[in-house]
Structure 1
Amino acid sequence: MVVSQDLAIEEYVLDTPKRFGASMQRGLKMAAKCYTRKDIGSLKSGDAEGFTLIFCHGLGSHKEQWEPTLFRLFTMQNTENPGDCSIREAWAFDWQSHGDSGVLNRSALISRSTKAATTKPNHLALREWAAALKEFIHSPRMAGHQLVLIGHCVGMTALTHAISDRRICPSIKTLIMVDPIIITEQAWKADLEKREGVMNHLLQETSARPDTWDSKEKAYVYFSRRYPWKQWNKEVLKVFVDEGLQPTSSGGCELKCTKEQEALHFLDRWVYAESTAHISRLSQDISTHIIWGERHDNVSKEMQDVSLEPFKHRVSQTTIQNCGHMIIQEQPKVLASLINAILTEVRVADGKRNGKVANKL
């Protein structure tokens, strides 16, 4: 586990909205962590002018995967701006089927699958995560906060669905999209056979891979020798194993997010096109930044360029070298530097708009 001596870390378990039409009285649970500087103290005494960062992970990941990037970001802020940190606090969330949320909801998710066994697969739709994030963003806890939403892969997809109606959340200052899945409905349909084939392959591959090991040490060895994990930063891989696996009754360990839940997400195929439409609208009045990996190992550059064309003039784009789609796993320090630069840019711009003399950042 990554440890920071300078940050206070609080863990939360949040109730989430129930599914539309569901008979259950309550929704699933969502695990979260809140990170603040120890020298600031309680949330109430924090820098009210600083940003509150909302981090959402990608498919098959968990909230702690952000920690190497997040801790580096706080360190850079403290070093460069010791008396004027741009960050008020940071939150990271587990999708309801992933990480600690997956453990909390295991019985409920199994019950769903059992009830659906005679009809069709009943996975945890990404829209349920979006609904939970929307509820948090609009909660009294976030009143008066200036929000910066940072998502990787499906995490960004969930966030864009959560804020699709921009009018009801004016507190969002900027969006930072880490190798998001941007693909229009037209682009998907134009290459339908290939995209459907890729999704089916990923579903089958995920379903077939091992998900239990004799120990976390053996799990680490397994991942470190296989693609894509062998390309990851060693610190991030250790966090993945330490925080993404849980003990089994037999003395071994298993993934907190079952491979069945991860695999079934590949059935949710149109959620990305809807998200892309949301991004096109949101970028009209929210500062939007996209950080790409150099290798196009998720969506082809051609499809990406076609889908971005209608709104590319409204977003900034940066490419990180020597990595692919899994940026937070492969280049956490470089990613932290880019996020830090974006926060600085946004804060300076805010200072100028408000007629203030911005501090040198």
Structure 2
Amino acid sequence: MFSSIQHFFLPGQPEEGGILFPFCRYIPNYCYPDGTGRRKKIALVFLHSVGTPAETWLPVIENICQLDVSSGKTPIIGELWLAELPTHGHGALVNEESLLHRPQGVSVAGWARGLQVLLGSNLISSKHVIGIGHSAGACSLSMSTIGVLHKVQYSSLILVDPPIQPTFDEIISRPFVPPEQLEQIRKAAKLRKDIWPSRESARAWLASRSPWKHWDPKVLDLHIEYGLRNLPTRTYPEKTEGVTLTLTREQESAGFLYPDEAIESMHWLARLGSKVPIHCIFAGKEINRTKFPVRKPTDKRSPIASISKVDDAGHLVVQEKPRELARTIWSVVCSMEFPTNFEMVQPQSKL
């Protein structure tokens, strides 16, 4: 599937206090690892939601690559990137000492600044970059363009179940949960179970409970592989056996401290949409629950270029419906126009 997988840990801006931002680049096996031929193709950059390691995107990514190579045309994807919150997965490991002294965690805006570091690093070879963000990742994706609107480096953005009402004639931010419930979530995060005797017992425990029991089995396996670490840790130095989550209780709770930044990021779309096409993909169950109508933009001034939804999926659509989400993302990508000499094709494969 991939000819090269490479991890990068990029230092943040001075205000980040020495935090390293983790990224991972995947080169499809039809591209050369040294970058040959990638510049005329597209790069996809994926941002995850709070509470899930970046690698839970991998089933979506693999399905997108399968759609690309089975289209009957020249493949158009040159590289795929995972951008991970420094408090999660690999980031939690390399930043372990720094995070002990950072109870405020890394905010939506802080993650966005880390993404700006990647975009300015020249590590991405492809000329056309499509940002794809889920939930909080969608918010950071939007915020990564604040202050650089005159030189936005994305060709398009795809926001997966972002915190906005899907009416689209205007941007109306909506919180995922009311403020009082958000406080309950923060408190619950500090009390949740986070130690198991083994990875096998952790998987069995998670698989019997929501939301994990609704996840695709392969995604859950990746969560166990990348979202857990062996004990002891700096948080639990006295525990010498078993496993714990890479994302600590304290840092998960801190991930819900910044609802105002999430709202700001969605309001920013009204300006950003004049510079970059913004495509939204919503979870069908969330639409049904909130009763918000899903319709195509009718106002030419709308910042939203297109809307789609994944039926029978909850907010964690990346984890629940990776194949269906991959097909939807691929359809959106194929609808885009790029000033290059490669041919965009409509998806034909059925996974």
Name the TM-score, length of structure 2 as normaliser. 0.86
Look up the match of 1:118. Answer: none
Contact 2:231 2:242 in 1 (8 A): yes
Look up the match of 2:101. Answer: 111
Give the C-alpha shift of residue 207 in structure 1. Answer: 1.8
Look up the match of 1:164. Answer: 146
Tell me how far apart the structure 1 counterparts of residues 96 and 134 of structure 2 sit (CA, whole Å): 24
1:318-357 to 2 correspondences below 5 Å: 318-346=308-336, 349-350=337-338
Letter in 2 for 1:159: L
Greater shift in the superposed pair: 312-321 or 89-98 = 312-321
The answer to whether the aligner puts 1:8 opposite 2:4 as a matched pair is yes
Look up the match of 1:127. Answer: 109
Give the % identical residues: 23
Flag the structure with higher helix content.
1
Residues 277 and 311 of structure 1: CA distance in aligned 2, closer, same or farther (over 3 Å): farther
Contact 1:131 1:162 in 2 (8 A): yes
SS in 1 for 2:162: coil
Query: How many positions carry a matched residue from both structures?
Result: 333
Q: For each residue in 1:223-262, what CA deviation from the matched residue of structure 2 results, as whole angstroms up to 9, or x when unmatched?
A: 1011111111111011111111011032211111112111
1:1-361 to 2 correspondences below 5 Å: 4=1, 6-19=2-15, 24=17, 27-81=18-72, 84-113=74-103, 122-142=104-124, 145-182=127-164, 195-249=178-232, 250-296=240-286, 300-302=290-292, 314-346=304-336, 349-350=337-338, 358=343, 360-361=345-346
Greater shift in the superposed pair: 37-46 or 315-324 = 37-46
Residues 154 and 359 of structure 1: CA distance in aligned 2, closer, same or farther (over 3 Å): closer
Tell me how far apart the structure 1 counterparts of residues 265 and 300 of structure 2 sit (CA, whole Å): 14
SS in 1 for 2:131: strand
Residues 357 and 96 of structure 1: CA distance in aligned 2, closer, same or farther (over 3 Å): closer
Name the TM-score, length of structure 1 as normaliser. 0.84
Q: For each residue in 1:11-41, what CA deviation from the matched residue of structure 2 results, as whole angstroms up to 9, or x when unmatched?
A: 2222111327xxx5xx211222101122321
Contact 2:287 2:293 in 1 (8 A): no
Give the C-alpha shift of residue 138 in structure 1. Answer: 2.1
Letter in 2 for 1:77: D
Greater shift in the superposed pair: 142-151 or 336-345 = 142-151
Give the C-alpha shift of residue 100 in structure 1. Answer: 0.7
Letter in 1 for 2:27: T
Residues 203 and 170 of structure 1: CA distance in aligned 2, closer, same or farther (over 3 Å): closer
Q: Which runs of 5+ in 1 are unaligned?
A: 114-121
Residues 135 and 53 of structure 1: CA distance in aligned 2, closer, same or farther (over 3 Å): same
Give the C-alpha shift of residue 136 in structure 1. Answer: 1.1
Tell me how far apart the structure 2 counterparts of residues 234 and 295 of structure 1 sit (CA, whole Å): 20
